[in-house]
Structure 1
């Protein structure tokens, strides 16, 4: 008889939980047995769409979570889950992950892995010490065209990679007309003061566009280029949301040993002039990007002579469909999960982000640290 896996949710501040929880609810091998929010560093003023209390109620109602605890530690002790889905503020990832690990509970952490590199490294140490599995969930992991893109790049379809580019932008997590996976409605209007009291716009909580959006480019450039980065140059600013103290726009230039990456992010964009969240890769023998033709996701390749080729991805195998399937398959077989979920890729992504943040503060190009050079 196949085992049923018990899953709990810790933290409802990240609206991605509304999509993530749906996958565990719909998977016949996982049972959502309980949930608990963390204590916010900054109390919210409104229970509007995509705020923490709204997310909790949405998940409780739509995914029939039988019990909500006031204290997530008590929940872990009482429910003894196989997995904790962690979707709290970035700054709380280490604390929550530790409480899970000491109880032998595996964790799935919503991207980014942590608020900084030191925190991410400590999480890996804890995972190894207590022998628990740690996954980092990315919405982009489940896009078939990106799997195909990686395969084509590794086959040398456009030669050696020279440059990676990406732009990730919208009006902000709670901005005008904000829409997020798993929920059909858009964000309801909130005053500046109400938005300012959410963790998204508080630097000490791990908020801001740089951690939220530059993390995509950091991780994907590392994954697609296939090696750790060397250095990064960053710039961030609070251009239009000064009622909060986190940046709403950020960019990074990342240096690899024989390639470079350009990452643009914004929380102040109503309409984009270029494809959003679609990596563009330039090589010695052409260019490649994720695209959509007649409503179908695909990979577009432009060869040196200008000829265009389109490749359509096959349906993904079970373990690559969503985080719930990945968890079940890994627990059943102990086969490796997708590279983008692993601590190995994510620590390199965090190292890029860390260098970018340090560069924002210093105004200089900063080296990307690793286990040997990151102290503390």
Structure 2
């Protein structure tokens, strides 16, 4: 008989929790058990879509999670889980994941890995000590065009990869709220791990580490709050990352109405350039227009983090690399060094797991 997985949720701060819930709800071997939120530093002033109040309501009313606890520690003591989805504020990943691991459950958390390398390593070591899996989900993992870009880069067709450029952005989280309401949301507050750097530079940190295949060495970072005066977190950031044989440029913005470019995701090699374009990758071998190659899609039965996780648990086959702890330790090291560099005005070293 196929195993039924008992699933719970801790944390509704990150709006992507609704997507994770939807992906697991689409499976027929899931039993929802219970959920609980973390307590925000500042109470939210809105229950609009994608706020934590709306996210909890989605879990209760749309997904059908049967119990909601006021205290996640009490929930973990009272219930048994196979998997817990963890989507608290970025700076609380270590605390929450440590508690879930201590309760003996596998953890699926949402990007970024945390708000600092130290906090992420707290989570990593807790999972290792408990013998449970820690999976970091990335929406970009489920992009067929990004996987095609990696495939072409690995084939050697564009020569040695020496630079990755990744720009990610929008007009910011919860843009329909008033400025007062946005200021009360953790996204715009530094202390709980808000800000555009962690929110968007994280994608390029994870993907460039995967594509380049080396651990990063150092980062120069710059941040600014140019259009979000209601919060103390940055709304724009840029990171310049040095690898042993390559470099990356990571850009993030919460104040951009249009990127003004056909591609924001680029890989440069000594014999060519790759640019994500729609559901494909444009390959340039010279100064011409290049040729567009369409992505063939994702592997059957493994096209969401829910399916990927269950497949991994049941077959023992490896997870997609971008979801794994080793690559996310390096991705978090980039972000951590970038934050420190923006504060110091100097190049900062990327710290390894041993450090």
Q: Shorter-chain TM-score: which interval?
A: over 0.9
Query: 2:190 matched to which residue of 1?
Result: 203
Distance (whole Å) between structure 2 residues aligned to residue 30 and residue 227 of structure 1 = 37
Query: 1:181 matched to which residue of 2?
Result: none
Whether the aligned pair in 2 keeps the contact of 1:24 and 1:32 (CA below 8 Å) is no
**Residue 296 (structure 2) aligned to one of 309, 314, 317:** 314
* 1:307 CA displacement: 6.0
**Residue 205 (structure 2) aligned to one of 199, 211, 218:** 218
Distance (whole Å) between structure 2 residues aligned to residue 221 and residue 357 of structure 1 = 18
- Listed as ranges, the matches of 1:165-244 within 5 Å are 165-175=165-175, 189-244=176-231
Query: 2:113 matched to which residue of 1?
Result: 113
Number of equivalences: 355
Whether the aligned pair in 1 keeps the contact of 2:218 and 2:347 (CA below 8 Å) is yes
Query: 1:37 matched to which residue of 2?
Result: 37
Distance (whole Å) between structure 2 residues aligned to residue 141 and residue 98 of structure 1 = 25
Q: TM-score, normalised by structure 2?
A: 0.96
Distance (whole Å) between structure 2 residues aligned to residue 319 and residue 343 of structure 1 = 22
Query: 1:366 matched to which residue of 2?
Result: 348
SS in 1 for 2:182: helix
* 1:308 CA displacement: 2.0
Corresponding position: 1:274 with 2:256: no
Distance (whole Å) between structure 2 residues aligned to residue 16 and residue 275 of structure 1 = 26
Question: Structure 1 regions of 5+ residues with no counterpart?
Answer: 176-188
Whether the aligned pair in 1 keeps the contact of 2:95 and 2:123 (CA below 8 Å) is no
Whether the aligned pair in 2 keeps the contact of 1:210 and 1:265 (CA below 8 Å) is yes
Whether the aligned pair in 1 keeps the contact of 2:237 and 2:252 (CA below 8 Å) is yes
Distance (whole Å) between structure 2 residues aligned to residue 38 and residue 77 of structure 1 = 16
Query: 1:27 matched to which residue of 2?
Result: 27
Query: 1:186 matched to which residue of 2?
Result: none
Distance (whole Å) between structure 2 residues aligned to residue 108 and residue 319 of structure 1 = 18
* 1:12 CA displacement: 0.9
Query: 2:250 matched to which residue of 1?
Result: 263
* 1:319 CA displacement: 5.2
Query: 1:100 matched to which residue of 2?
Result: 100
* 1:315 CA displacement: 3.1
SS in 2 for 1:88: coil
Whether the aligned pair in 2 keeps the contact of 1:30 and 1:324 (CA below 8 Å) is no
Distance (whole Å) between structure 1 residues aligned to residue 238 and residue 265 of structure 2 = 15
Query: 2:271 matched to which residue of 1?
Result: 285
Q: C-alpha deviations, 1:154-173, integer Å up to 9, x for none?
A: 11121100111111111111
Whether the aligned pair in 2 keeps the contact of 1:234 and 1:360 (CA below 8 Å) is yes
SS in 1 for 2:250: strand
Whether the aligned pair in 2 keeps the contact of 1:167 and 1:275 (CA below 8 Å) is no
* 1:247 CA displacement: 0.4
- Listed as ranges, the matches of 1:74-93 within 5 Å are 74-93=74-93
Query: 2:62 matched to which residue of 1?
Result: 62
